[in-house]
A and B are shown apart, each in its own frame.
Chain A
Amino acid sequence: MRPLTEEETRALFEKLARYVGENLQLLVDRPDGAYCFRLHKDRVYYLSERILKLATNIPRENLVALGTCFGKFTKTQKFRLHITALDYLAPYAKYKVWVKPGAEQSFLYGNHILKSGLGRITESTAQYQGVVVYSMADVPLGFGVAAKSTQECRKVDPMAIVVFHQADIGEYIRHEETLT
């Protein structure tokens, strides 16, 4: 377990900022306590100071996970966001996408969202903008990347992909082993 290096922090923040924008500072600098990011086995964990203290007492080999895993760094030092970060990022999401009930299932199975399944989308969503996917009942379902901007979404045909799938809560079941 170690704190992140600057490049790592940069990469992490870059990724997170895609989804939450400047609200990220609220994550970094929280008024109700000091939270920090720690890297452990290529995974980035977000944890409070208290947990951090406790975690320092566990040897590295035995430590499985600490706090909440936000994602991991791939071999090429790219940060990949995990679904476990949803709870922390969803409230601060800037660009949201609502999915119709019919397409909800498809998304939860790891498919991309088609135009036909798109229920709502925040205005002025840029292309390749990170979005948080919600169901029509405002239940956060996962993360995605907008394949089309909002304006484009209107014009495109119903079978075109509008949101690339990044992470969904179905992964809790599908990727049980890999999630920490």
Chain B
Amino acid sequence: MEQNLAVKRLYVGGLDHTISEAELKKRFCNFGNVTDTEIVTRKDEKGKPMRTFAYISINISEKELKKCISVLNKTTWKGGTLQIELAKECFLHRLARERQEASVMKEKTNCNGMTSILESMKKSGVVDFHVKAVPGTEIPDHKDWVVGKFGRVLPILHMKGQRTNKIVKYDPSKYCHNLKKLDSDLSETVPVSQLTWHLEEVDNIRIKKQQGQFPVSKKPHKKKMRVQECDRLNRTELKLCCQSSSKTNVRKTELVQDHTCTAKQYKKHSVDQKFVAGSCRHINSLSESDIDTDEEIRAIIANEQKVQKVDPNTEPEDDSMEVVGENFELKYSTHWSLKKAQSMKKVSNRERRSIENKSDYDSTDTDEIIAVTQMSNRKKREKETLNGLKATEEKDGSFKKGTLSHTAHFDSSDLNGSTSDKLKGRGMATSEKTNSQVVPKQSSGASECKSESDDLYLAPSESEGDEDYGTMMKNCYRVDLTLEDLERLAGGDAESTDDDAESNHTDTQSKTNEFPVSNTKNTRRSPTGSPTPKKCICPEEILSAILKEESADEENPKENNSCLKIQPFRGIRSLSVNETINKQTKSELDAHKTKASFDSSYISGMDSLTSISDPQCLDFAIKNPKCKLLSLKTVNSDSHEGNCILKPDENFHKEDSEVETSNGSVSTETTVSTNLKSFPKRAPREISCKDSDLGESLKNTLKRRETFLGFAKATSEKQQQDNEKRLAALREKQKERKLQKSLIQGALAHLEIQSTNKQKHIIFDSDGESEAEVPVSSKEGSPGKLLKKDFTTKTSGKLFESSEDESDIAEEDSDRFKIKPQFEGKAGEKLMQLQSRFGTDERFRMDARFLESDSEPEGELKKPEIDEEEELALEKKKNLEILKNLLHINVEHPMPKKQAASARKFKDINTLRYDPTRLDHAVFERKPENTEKESKAKKKKKREEAQKLPEVSKEIFYNVAENLKEVLESTKCDEKPEIIPWDKHNDVEEAIPADAGPLNFKDRSNKQEETSGFTFSFFGPEKETSPMKEEPYLIETIKPSRVAWQEDPRFQDSSSEGDEPEVVEREDVKETSPATPHSNIRFFFFSQDDDRLKEGPKLFYRSSNLDEDRDDWESRREMLLEDCRKKHKDARRKVKAKH
């Protein structure tokens, strides 16, 4: 027997724990070559070895192995019975092996896996079996397992029916893989947001929660709708990422799903798909995993056969199924509805920001658009349009045309037919062109069209799951296609562009089906172009309309702010997007002439449209095309508009500028950057646009803009109104206050009367006094002696109130202040009034004869009332006192009356607004002269009083000043003061370098202050002439002692004023040169003879010759250097000394 040595692993159990490897080896070496031993000791809790066993890798033949086992098995060894078995592979080895295998498996192609299955299939007689693609085939080896979608193996379920007790056999492959062709009619599709996840039977909340994830019940047929959608998605994904292996397919689909579908649905779907294979409990997943039709499957198989390793996107387009284009999103947009397409688009858009991808504009501000553009009307409008579109949508261009026509039909009821007539001549291509043209036309600014397009473009941006969104997406998709068609139809585009241009310029409403786009365009333009209800048929009208609009725009500067404020960020963002897009479009222009231009315009329009999330953007978009329109108009009169269009971008800005120039009101539209401004301006235009049936949604947007515009307009009006209101309110307040005052006065008067009445009891002649008080109080400033006396009596009455004793005394002293008896009572009051008419004329004194007799009863009647009121007032007083006491305890507060009065006063002061027109308020004005004078005087006094030193030094200064003056006079320029300080600084440095430095700086600063020209007037006189200014510098340097002194005044005086010495010097100079009648006032604004104008320039040129200065400086420099070194050395020595 040959010894087929093989490495085997033996398990040896029942070993003694004391056994070592060597012994083991020894024991087994007879049988083979022991390569490795592992001894494992299992110990119990206390560490006592319970069991010991070993793994031995032995190079042994089978025979020997048998022998070994037979010999050693069940033998005792060192107290334990051996147990020898073939062991499982070492764990690590196994792991490694498995990994290897796994890797090998991975490396293997699917075919390998497939081949095995295929082989098995072949065994069973199945021919041409693609496990992946052909679900439903049973797997031969396993019972009750069928191949499901994507090659997965699904179990056949036997379920008990809910109502029946029978067990139903459920073959998942039959249900899951029934792919269904989507009908073109997607009107039945429910938007994702409106899908119900509710199963009719399932009312359990828990189950509801679990729905979508791991639903318990299996009701695939009820979820058809969703399934369909999912199917579509899956199908599309399938197509897109077809791969041979089921696993990879699944993975890829999942990946695709993850990539494309951000929605939960899809994630769930993928998850479900995962679980499909795993467990059959998730019927939803199963149902979601589609109803693959056989056709689909075959198609898949065919595809797979074609390409082994297929790129997901190279799937051949299945025109019958969907419009599968290069654009990933298009497919989605057409198919399904809404959310996913949107998300897809978004994703794709964001990923590829290519101009080709027309949906880019969607992506930029989709969120914003969604948030902003949620106008129900517009949505409805969109819905309508979209439904129309949907109804007619086909996957061919013709279909698109039809849809367009349909929509156009639907939308353009008001559109003129002129353009349509022109467009009628064209064929299908033109329709497409029109579609594409519509887009540019849209961009060109038909407001309606724009709104539509906006709606279209906005649709993707709208909230996911919105029906409108789907329709919108569809529209967008449609538009994109049209653009593509345009590109394809390069040749015809020129004409079309021409025609379009014409149509653009003409607000024609085409009711033809063929030219819905144009209609839409027209409709759009019509509202934008014609703020007036009149339909602009010719370009001129449009232009005029635009001009009108723009004029309206000008009126609303605030709309900018308002609009901007409303959605500032978005607008800007959209603008930025537009900019980028426009740039891109420009580049495209270069590439393609006509088309490019057209496209670029289209794109820009589209982009602008799409990126417009708010009316501003829309305005902008509208404006852009409008600009083009206008520009076109301005540049070319009629026929060659198409040519103009050919170079839209090139001329865009130019024309815009032209337009601006030509149309003053349309100034804003040159560049994208200016669009910001134009936005608000556009808004009015759009608002003014008439609404057509087509553009209901547009109307809505327009209305919005209208509101904005109106708002902007209103703001200016509002301002005026507000001002008026304010004034009115002020007046009212004043009136109220007066009322209150009067009331209070009345009350107080009453009180006073009452008090005086009271005091009638206390004080003699109080009646007369009180009555006298009344007329006195009523009459203010009556000159009559008597009145005066009465007043005094009143005052005396008050005095009496306070202190009775004093009143008596006072009264005694002032008999003349007694009220004449004839003035007592009401009649007396009247008499007094009468008396006052005559003033103090002694000839007209009133006697008792003049009294009226009827006054007395009135007075009596009044008394009780007065008493009541008095009581109330008393009570009030009491209460207030109590309150005061209370609140004093709690919170301190002054007398309520006083408080009220003070409050009122306080209020008055607060509310008092300075009114320059009022003469009274002149008091509040600050008169510069007075202050000047005051300050001047004060300053002078201060200075004089504070220090007498200056006086002393003045003399010196005086002298110096003269010299300096001479010096200065010799030197023309005033630069010297600037230069001199340096010189002087150097000179002074020797003596007091430190001081001079800062001083000089201060001087300079002061000088600067002086020359700044913004010093207040009261400092004016002190800073009169430049020579005076110069003097201080000169003076300072010359007299270092003064320098030290100078600092004090600086600190003392206000810094703005300038240096003391300067001032002093100025004063001195003034003395010396009294004839310096410079205007002391320094105003903010420059006058012709302003000193500052003279002084300022002097600072800018040298006073002395540069060379001379240089020479001087050179000489001084050496000295300076010496000084520096000296000091440096000294300092060093000091430092060394310290250390």
Report whether B890 and A17 are in contact in the complex, using a CB–CB cutoff of 8 Å.
Answer: yes
Q: Is A14 an interface residue (CB 8 A)?
A: yes
Report whether B886 and A10 are in contact in the complex, using a CB–CB cutoff of 8 Å.
Answer: yes
Chain B contact surface mostly:
helix
Report whether A31 and B891 are in contact in the complex, using a CB–CB cutoff of 8 Å.
Answer: no
Query: Interface size for chain A: under 10, 10 to 19, 20 to 34, or 35 or more residues?
Result: 20 to 34
Q: Mark B873-916, 1 if CB is under 8 A from A, else 0.
A: 10110111011011100110100110110000000000000000
Instruction: Please indicate the chain B residues that have their CB under 8 angstroms from the CB of A52 in the complex.
Output: 872
Instruction: State A13–B868 Cα separation when bound (angstroms).
Output: 23
Report whether B875 and A36 are in contact in the complex, using a CB–CB cutoff of 8 Å.
Answer: yes
Report whether A25 and B875 are in contact in the complex, using a CB–CB cutoff of 8 Å.
Answer: no
Report whether B887 and A22 are in contact in the complex, using a CB–CB cutoff of 8 Å.
Answer: yes
Report whether A21 and B896 are in contact in the complex, using a CB–CB cutoff of 8 Å.
Answer: no
Report whether B896 and A29 are in contact in the complex, using a CB–CB cutoff of 8 Å.
Answer: yes
Q: Which of A3, A9, A25, A32 contacts B899 (CB 8 A)?
A: A25
In chain A between 39 and 79, which residues have their CB closer than 8 angstroms to a CB of chain B? Answer: 49, 52-53
Q: Tell me the minimal C-beta distance from B165 to chain A in angstroms.
A: 49
Report whether B896 and A6 are in contact in the complex, using a CB–CB cutoff of 8 Å.
Answer: no
Report whether B897 and A29 are in contact in the complex, using a CB–CB cutoff of 8 Å.
Answer: yes
Report whether A28 and B743 are in contact in the complex, using a CB–CB cutoff of 8 Å.
Answer: no
Q: Is B740 an interface residue (CB 8 A)?
A: yes
Q: Tell me the minimal C-beta distance from A132 to chain B in angstroms.
A: 18
Q: Mark A144-173, 1 if CB is under 8 A from B, else 0.
A: 000000000000000000000000000000
Report whether A13 and B883 are in contact in the complex, using a CB–CB cutoff of 8 Å.
Answer: yes
Instruction: Please indicate the chain B residues that have their CB under 8 angstroms from the CB of A3 in the complex.
Output: 875
Q: Is A37 an interface residue (CB 8 A)?
A: yes
Instruction: Please indicate the chain A residues that have their CB under 8 angstroms from the CB of B887 in the complex.
Output: 17, 21-22, 24
Report whether A13 and B876 are in contact in the complex, using a CB–CB cutoff of 8 Å.
Answer: no
Report whether B893 and A13 are in contact in the complex, using a CB–CB cutoff of 8 Å.
Answer: no
Instruction: Please indicate the chain B residues that have their CB under 8 angstroms from the CB of A31 in the complex.
Output: 740, 743-744, 900
Instruction: Please indicate the chain A residues that have their CB under 8 angstroms from the CB of B873 in the complex.
Output: 34
Contacts A17-B890, A31-B740; A25 near B883 (Cβ below 8 A):
yes
Report whether A21 and B886 are in contact in the complex, using a CB–CB cutoff of 8 Å.
Answer: no
Report whether A28 and B883 are in contact in the complex, using a CB–CB cutoff of 8 Å.
Answer: yes
Instruction: Please indicate the chain B residues that have their CB under 8 angstroms from the CB of A6 in the complex.
Output: 878, 882
Report whether B744 and A9 are in contact in the complex, using a CB–CB cutoff of 8 Å.
Answer: no
Among B868, B886, B890, B900, max chain A CB count under 10 A is at B886
Instruction: State A6–B880 Cα separation when bound (angstroms).
Output: 11
Instruction: Please indicate the chain A residues that have their CB under 8 angstroms from the CB of B896 in the complex.
Output: 25, 28-29
Q: Which of A10, A14, A28 contacts B880 (CB 8 A)?
A: A28
Instruction: Please indicate the chain A residues that have their CB under 8 angstroms from the CB of B900 in the complex.
Output: 25, 29, 31
Among B743, B880, B883, B893, max chain A CB count under 10 A is at B883
Q: Is B869 an interface residue (CB 8 A)?
A: yes
Report whether B744 and A13 are in contact in the complex, using a CB–CB cutoff of 8 Å.
Answer: no
Instruction: State A32–B875 Cα separation when bound (angstroms).
Output: 17
Report whether B876 and A17 are in contact in the complex, using a CB–CB cutoff of 8 Å.
Answer: no
Report whether B886 and A34 are in contact in the complex, using a CB–CB cutoff of 8 Å.
Answer: no
Report whether B872 and A9 are in contact in the complex, using a CB–CB cutoff of 8 Å.
Answer: no
Q: Tell me the minimal C-beta distance from B735 to chain A in angstroms.
A: 14
In chain B between 1030 and 1055, which residues have their CB closer than 8 angstroms to a CB of chain A? Answer: none
Total residue contacts A-B, CB cutoff 8 A: 61
Instruction: Please indicate the chain B residues that have their CB under 8 angstroms from the CB of A25 in the complex.
Output: 880, 883, 893, 896, 899-900
Instruction: State A17–B883 Cα separation when bound (angstroms).
Output: 9
Instruction: State A13–B869 Cα separation when bound (angstroms).
Output: 22
Contacts A9-B878, A25-B896, A36-B876; A17 near B886 (Cβ below 8 A):
yes
Report whether A28 and B876 are in contact in the complex, using a CB–CB cutoff of 8 Å.
Answer: yes
Contacts A9-B878, A34-B869, A34-B873; A24 near B744 (Cβ below 8 A):
no
Contacts A13-B882, A22-B887, A22-B893; A29 near B876 (Cβ below 8 A):
yes
Q: Which of A14, A28, A32, A53 contacts B879 (CB 8 A)?
A: A28
Contacts A21-B891, A28-B896; A34 near B883 (Cβ below 8 A):
no
Instruction: State A28–B890 Cα separation when bound (angstroms).
Output: 17
Instruction: Please indicate the chain B residues that have their CB under 8 angstroms from the CB of A32 in the complex.
Output: 743
Among A6, A10, A29, A49, max chain B CB count under 10 A is at A29
Contacts A25-B899, A29-B900; A34 near B872 (Cβ below 8 A):
yes
Instruction: State A25–B899 Cα separation when bound (angstroms).
Output: 10
In chain B between 537 and 560, which residues have their CB closer than 8 angstroms to a CB of chain A? Answer: none
Instruction: Please indicate the chain A residues that have their CB under 8 angstroms from the CB of B744 in the complex.
Output: 31
Instruction: Please indicate the chain B residues that have their CB under 8 angstroms from the CB of A21 in the complex.
Output: 887, 890-891
Instruction: State A36–B870 Cα separation when bound (angstroms).
Output: 13
Instruction: Please indicate the chain A residues that have their CB under 8 angstroms from the CB of B883 in the complex.
Output: 13, 17, 24-25, 28
In chain B between 345 and 366, which residues have their CB closer than 8 angstroms to a CB of chain A? Answer: none
Instruction: State A22–B892 Cα separation when bound (angstroms).
Output: 9
Instruction: Please indicate the chain A residues that have their CB under 8 angstroms from the CB of B880 in the complex.
Output: 25, 28-29
- A56 closest partner in B (C-beta): B868
Instruction: Please indicate the chain B residues that have their CB under 8 angstroms from the CB of A29 in the complex.
Output: 876, 880, 896-897, 900
Instruction: State A37–B893 Cα separation when bound (angstroms).
Output: 22
Instruction: Please indicate the chain B residues that have their CB under 8 angstroms from the CB of A34 in the complex.
Output: 747, 869, 872-873, 876
Instruction: State A22–B885 Cα separation when bound (angstroms).
Output: 11
Q: Which of B747, B879, B890, B891 contacts A9 (CB 8 A)?
A: B879
Report whether B872 and A13 are in contact in the complex, using a CB–CB cutoff of 8 Å.
Answer: no
Report whether A9 and B882 are in contact in the complex, using a CB–CB cutoff of 8 Å.
Answer: yes
Instruction: Please indicate the chain A residues that have their CB under 8 angstroms from the CB of B743 in the complex.
Output: 31-32
Q: Which of B886, B891, B899 contacts A14 (CB 8 A)?
A: B886
Instruction: Please indicate the chain A residues that have their CB under 8 angstroms from the CB of B875 in the complex.
Output: 3, 36
Instruction: Please indicate the chain A residues that have their CB under 8 angstroms from the CB of B868 in the complex.
Output: 53
Instruction: State A13–B747 Cα separation when bound (angstroms).
Output: 23
Instruction: State A9–B880 Cα separation when bound (angstroms).
Output: 10
Q: Tell me the minimal C-beta distance from A20 to chain B in angstroms.
A: 11
Instruction: State A37–B878 Cα separation when bound (angstroms).
Output: 12
Report whether B878 and A36 are in contact in the complex, using a CB–CB cutoff of 8 Å.
Answer: no
Instruction: Please indicate the chain B residues that have their CB under 8 angstroms from the CB of A9 in the complex.
Output: 878-879, 882
Instruction: State A6–B878 Cα separation when bound (angstroms).
Output: 8
Instruction: State A31–B897 Cα separation when bound (angstroms).
Output: 10
Instruction: State A24–B883 Cα separation when bound (angstroms).
Output: 8
Q: Mark B179-207, 1 if CB is under 8 A from A, else 0.
A: 00000000000000000000000000000
Instruction: State A56–B869 Cα separation when bound (angstroms).
Output: 14
- B885 closest partner in A (C-beta): A10
Instruction: State A22–B873 Cα separation when bound (angstroms).
Output: 19
Q: Tell me the minimal C-beta distance from B713 to chain A in angstroms.
A: 34
Instruction: State A21–B879 Cα separation when bound (angstroms).
Output: 15
Instruction: State A88–B869 Cα separation when bound (angstroms).
Output: 23
Instruction: Please indicate the chain B residues that have their CB under 8 angstroms from the CB of A24 in the complex.
Output: 883, 887
Instruction: State A174–B893 Cα separation when bound (angstroms).
Output: 39
Instruction: State A161–B271 Cα separation when bound (angstroms).
Output: 50
In chain B between 385 and 421, which residues have their CB closer than 8 angstroms to a CB of chain A? Answer: none
Instruction: State A116–B531 Cα separation when bound (angstroms).
Output: 58
Instruction: Please indicate the chain B residues that have their CB under 8 angstroms from the CB of A28 in the complex.
Output: 876, 879-880, 883, 896
In chain B between 844 and 880, which residues have their CB closer than 8 angstroms to a CB of chain A? Answer: 868-869, 872-873, 875-876, 878-880
Report whether B882 and A10 are in contact in the complex, using a CB–CB cutoff of 8 Å.
Answer: yes
Instruction: Please indicate the chain A residues that have their CB under 8 angstroms from the CB of B740 in the complex.
Output: 31
Q: Tell me the minimal C-beta distance from A153 to chain B in angstroms.
A: 22
Q: Tell me the minimal C-beta distance from A78 to chain B in angstroms.
A: 16
Instruction: State A37–B882 Cα separation when bound (angstroms).
Output: 13
Instruction: Please indicate the chain A residues that have their CB under 8 angstroms from the CB of B890 in the complex.
Output: 17, 21
Contacts A29-B876, A31-B743, A31-B744; A22 near B882 (Cβ below 8 A):
no
Instruction: State A53–B872 Cα separation when bound (angstroms).
Output: 11
Report whether B876 and A37 are in contact in the complex, using a CB–CB cutoff of 8 Å.
Answer: no
| Given A22-B887, A28-B880, 6 further pairs, Cβ under 8 A | A13-B886, A21-B890, A21-B891, A29-B876, A34-B747, A36-B876
Q: Which residues of B contact A (CB under 8 A)?
A: 740, 743-744, 747, 868-869, 872-873, 875-876, 878-880, 882-883, 885-887, 890-891, 893, 896-897, 899-900
A-B contact pairs, 17 of them (CB 8 A): A9-B878, A9-B882, A10-B882, A14-B886, A17-B886, A17-B890, A21-B890, A22-B887, A25-B893, A25-B896, A28-B879, A28-B880, A31-B743, A34-B869, A36-B872, A36-B876, A53-B868
The 8 nearest A-B residue pairs measured at CB: A25-B896, A34-B872, A28-B879, A9-B882, A22-B893, A13-B883, A13-B886, A31-B740
